[in-house]
Amino acid sequence: MAEEINNKIDEIIDFARHKKVFLSKDALEVLLVRVDWKDIVEELASEGCFIVAKKDIEKKVTKTKIFLAEELGGAEVPSQKHIVEQSPKNFKIINAKNNLNKGQGNGGTNDFLELFRFKFNSLKSILEQRNSIRAKPIKNIGYVKEKEELEIIGMVYRKWETKTGNTAIELEDLESRCIVVLSKNEHGVELERHRIMLDDVICVRGIKIAKDMILAKEVIWPDIPQREIKLTKKDVCVASISDLHVGSKLFLEGAFQKFISWINGDAGSDEEKKFVKKIKYLFVTGDNIDGIGVYPKQHSELNIKSIKEQYNLFSDYMLQIPDNIEIFIIPGQHDAVRWADPQQPIPEKFVPKLYAAENIHLLGSPSWVEIEDLKVFLYHGSCLHDLIASISGLSYEHPQQGVVELLKRRCVMLTYGLSHPYAPEINENVFMKESPDLVFMGDLHHTGYLTYRGTTIVNNSTWQDRTEYQIKLGHMPTPGVAIAMNLKDRKIYARMMVS
Ligand SMILES: [Fe+2]
């Protein structure tokens, strides 16, 4: 009997392979007990179904009312390596426990002190991993002779312009502080003078010019190292969307329904449909609903005036996406979680149907996911507003340049006290201890793409039309764009869903 089962397994797998269909283990279990397994595989192949899960077969069985055959009676499928390799799922959620942080401490001074120490130590250890850096503790500057070269690592405590037009910063580590002068005439630091923000952690290489004073020759950021772009062997695609703002009067329902048709392979040319079949992962980077009371007078701009109903509609949309796509959803400032970073996942009480779906993962912002052995950093992007307001040359039209600044800092906690708050919680997800292969963000309602030092950045679009607030700011969003990327070559495809 065992031999008979094994022979049938081989026969099904060979037949499916011949039809260019890959079967998951549970799909194979279902087919194994059916007399009509060839018809089912052939039908799925003719529909262009590339990866087949148990659910795909069950749908077909229900539709065609084919009955189970009893000939092999519910036999167990022996574990086989080649079946595992064909599994369409190759992902894991990293640091998942950080998503569940409910907030430690009471938000007092000591909690912030601990957070800033943690930030300093985390980024200092990233800087110290470089062989070229031999930084001294700031308190040891006293032992260095004047005009001698030295390196220090510190957090920026103060920044000001000197009477002579240079920039000065006060750097501190856990024990001491010193002044660093960034001369307008020093070529190596000219750009950095405008880039440095309070609470940044940097390494300064310079010359001691007075007691506790250094003239900077170079500013070294934690930054991600230059790496080769890591490509997958598999012909696999990811897609990403953001900022649906379901419930807003400006929600582009028609465009989003086109997206749903597109991702189901029901729209576009045959080539397009073939391409869509390759999408195995979808990232949804926050502002999933418009929320209630997020800003003054929002009520009059809402189509759906109940959070629950907004989430019900959002859930219905997500459940229309094929369930062989793994969907990762993080919150944004309009979702029903706290405003401050790091944000926790959308609670189950608002989206119970999404929690019940096996292929849907509700995560915090920021979060880390690994897919096809690639590290993915997901973040709504709330701190980008502060970056754009603080660093000249950054703009809403090129959000990817703002993400580069985050990669240089390897942290999304910027200056404390700017417009976007963060909570005094130790959450490793806010740091980029490892270099991400892919970064997906939203929030600015404007697309942007860039590969920086081996990391591919995608700033997602929105599904909300231009708001009054954006008109006042003169900000022109790029709504209704779905982004897809082939991991085999990192080519990015922007699909316009607005006519
Ligand atoms: Fe948004």
pLDDT tens profile 370-429: 999 999 999 999 999 999 999 999 999 999 999 999 999 999 999 999 999 989 988 999
Tell me the pLDDT band of 97, cut-offs 50, 70 and 90.
Answer: low
Q: Which residue has the tokens 């930084």?
A: 135
407 in Cβ contact with 439 (< 8 Å): yes
- Show contacts of 292-297: CB within 8 Å, 24+ apart: 294/333, 294/334, 295/469
CA 464 to chain centre: 20
Question: Ligand 1 centre and the CA of 160: distance in Å?
Answer: 34
Give phi and psi for 429, each to the nearest 5. Answer: -65, -20
- Report the alpha-carbon distance of residue 43 to residue 40 in Å, rounded: 5
Q: What is the tens place of the pLDDT at every residue in 38-65?
A: 767 777 776 667 778 777 776 665 432 2
Q: What is the tens place of the pLDDT at every residue in 257-315?
A: 999 999 999 998 999 999 999 999 999 999 999 999 998 888 899 999 999 999 999 99
Question: Ligand 1 centre and the CA of 443: distance in Å?
Answer: 5
Q: Is 127 helix (H, G, I), strand (E, B) or coil?
A: helix
Q: Is the pLDDT of residue 252 over 60?
A: yes
Tokens of 147: 């005009």
Question: Ligand 1 centre and the CA of 298: distance in Å?
Answer: 14
Crossing angle between the packed helical segments 54-64 and 25-32, to the nearest 10 degrees: 40
- pLDDT above 70 covers a percentage of the chain that reads 88
Q: What is the pLDDT of residue 35?
A: 58
Question: Ligand 1 centre and the CA of 237: distance in Å?
Answer: 25
Question: Ligand 1 centre and the CA of 382: distance in Å?
Answer: 9
Residue 455 pairs with which residues in a beta bridge? Answer: 452
Q: Is the pLDDT of residue 86 over 60?
A: no
Q: What letter would DSSP give residue 41? A: H
Question: Ligand 1 centre and the CA of 345: distance in Å?
Answer: 17
Q: What is the tens place of the pLDDT at every residue in 162-212?
A: 999 999 999 999 999 999 999 999 988 988 999 999 999 999 999 999 999
Question: Ligand 1 centre and the CA of 461: distance in Å?
Answer: 9
Q: What is the pLDDT of residue 53?
A: 79
Give phi and psi for 60, each to the nearest 5. Answer: -65, -40
Q: For the chain, list the domains and their CATH numbers.
A: 2-88 (1.10.8), 92-102+225-496 (3.60.21.50), 130-220 (2.40.50.140)
Q: With DSSP H G I counted as helix, E B as strand and the rest as coil, what are the percentages for the chain, rounded to 5? A: 30, 25, 45
State the virtual CA torsion across 145, 150, 152, 157 in degrees, nearest 10: 60
Question: Ligand 1 centre and the CA of 314: distance in Å?
Answer: 14
Q: What is the pLDDT of residue 38?
A: 74
Q: What is the pLDDT of residue 371?
A: 97
Question: Ligand 1 centre and the CA of 454: distance in Å?
Answer: 27
Tokens of 387: 């970056």
3-state secondary structure 259-285: HHHHHCCCCCCHHHHHHHCCEEEEEEE
Q: What is the tens place of the pLDDT at every residue in 319-378?
A: 999 999 999 999 999 999 999 999 999 999 999 999 999 999 999 999 999 999 999 999
344 in Cβ contact with 375 (< 8 Å): no
447 in Cβ contact with 495 (< 8 Å): no
Q: What is the pLDDT of residue 75?
A: 32
Tell me the pLDDT band of 103, cut-offs 50, 70 and 90.
Answer: low
Q: What is the pLDDT of residue 57?
A: 75
State the virtual CA torsion across 154, 156, 162, 164 in degrees, nearest 10: 50
Q: How many CB atoms lie within 10 A of CB 132?
A: 8
For residue 352, say if its preceding peptide bond is cis, omega within 30 degrees of 0: no
Question: Ligand 1 centre and the CA of 168: distance in Å?
Answer: 36
Structure-model confidence comparison of residues 132 and 456, the more confident one = 456
Q: What is the pLDDT of residue 78?
A: 35
Question: Ligand 1 centre and the CA of 436: distance in Å?
Answer: 23
Q: Which residues, chain by chain, have CB under 5 Å from ion ligand 1?
A: 243, 287
Q: What is the tens place of the pLDDT at every residue in 138-167?
A: 999 999 999 999 999 999 999 999 999 999
Question: Ligand 1 centre and the CA of 387: distance in Å?
Answer: 17
Q: What is the tens place of the pLDDT at every residue in 12-34?
A: 887 787 777 778 777 877 777 66
381 in Cβ contact with 347 (< 8 Å): no
Q: What is the pLDDT of residue 95?
A: 77
Question: Ligand 1 centre and the CA of 365: distance in Å?
Answer: 14
Strands 279-285 and 237-241: parallel
Q: How large is the greatest C-alpha to C-alpha distance in the chain, in angstroms?
A: 91
264 in Cβ contact with 280 (< 8 Å): no
Question: Ligand 1 centre and the CA of 243: distance in Å?
Answer: 4
Q: What is the pLDDT of residue 21?
A: 78
Q: Is the pLDDT of residue 230 over 70?
A: yes
For residue 366, say if its preceding peptide bond is cis, omega within 30 degrees of 0: yes
- Taking the CA of residue 92 as centre, how many other CA atoms within 13 Å lie in the half-sphere pointing to its CB? 4
